[in-house]
Amino acid sequence: MTDDTELTGAERAALDRWRVDAAAPPHIAQAVVDALKQRGLIASRRPRWAAATLAAAALLAAFVAGSFMPRSDRLSSREPQFVLLLYSGDDAASAPSRREEYTAWARTIAGRGTAISGLELVDSPDAPLSLPSDTTLPAAMPAQPRGFFVVRARDFAEARRIAETCPHLRHGGRIVLRRVAS
């Protein structure tokens, strides 16, 4: 009620007797639903098979996309790893532009589907260090590598072809290629 008066028990009982909970006839309810669907105000329910079909299509699309990924994204643990040890070269080898050149080269190799990573090594005032530690270093201490790359390749020949394209060779450097023990 909209006014502030309280109903007595008899008045409330009389009102309750007149109250009717009526549902719309089924044909009218269906006509209203159809009209709302036509206007786009409610969406029609999809059958359950439609959801299952959509899920199966999504799985198939993911499988197909995965089969066309570059090899570096789905590495085979059976492919051996090789280390390209970079020795000597000119003194500008650690210049930022040289690092960018080596990084671009590694990205090109990775873009072809070969897993590759690498690091530049820095000269330390304590280097070279021989372990176990003794006070005298051998007279013919081997040259220290300036950096390295690690690649996955099918075999030594493929790893060599990759190493031969490294920009380090254009700058007078030497590369030692070694297979990593598995």
Is residue 32 in a domain?
yes
Question: Do 61 and 82 fall within a single domain?
Answer: no
Instruction: Residue 55: give the domain boundaries.
Output: 24-67
**The domain spanning residue 164 has which CATH number?**
3.30.70.1060
Question: Do 63 and 100 fall within a single domain?
Answer: no
Could you report the per-residue pLDDT of 72-97, keeping only the tens digit for each? 444 455 789 999 988 876 655 556 77
Could you report the per-residue pLDDT of 105-158, keeping only the tens digit for each? 999 999 988 999 888 887 766 655 555 555 555 555 557 788 889 999 999 999
Question: Do 166 and 113 fall within a single domain?
Answer: yes
Question: Do 150 and 61 fall within a single domain?
Answer: no
**Mean pLDDT of the region 16-41:** 75
- Cβ-count burial of 45 within 10 angstroms (0-12 exposed, 13-18 middle, 19+ buried)? exposed
The SS3 call for residue 12 is helix
Question: Do 93 and 165 fall within a single domain?
Answer: yes
Judge contact between 79 and 153, C-beta under 8 A.
Answer: yes
- DSSP H or E run through 103: helix 96-111
Measured CA to CA in angstroms, residue 178 lies from 83, 89, 159 at distances of 5, 19, 9
**Mean pLDDT of the region 152-175:** 91
User: Per the structure, how many domains does the chain have?
Assistant: 2
Question: Do 37 and 109 fall within a single domain?
Answer: no
Question: Do 84 and 50 fall within a single domain?
Answer: no
Is residue 110 in a domain?
yes
Judge contact between 69 and 151, C-beta under 8 A.
Answer: no
pTM of the model: 0.51
Is residue 92 in a domain?
yes
Is residue 54 in a domain?
yes
Question: Do 28 and 61 fall within a single domain?
Answer: yes
Of 67, 83, 98, the one marking the end of a domain is 67
Is residue 13 in a domain?
no
Could you report the per-residue pLDDT of 33-69, keeping only the tens digit for each? 788 777 777 766 666 666 666 666 666 666 556 555 5
Judge contact between 87 and 142, C-beta under 8 A.
Answer: no
The SS3 call for residue 13 is helix
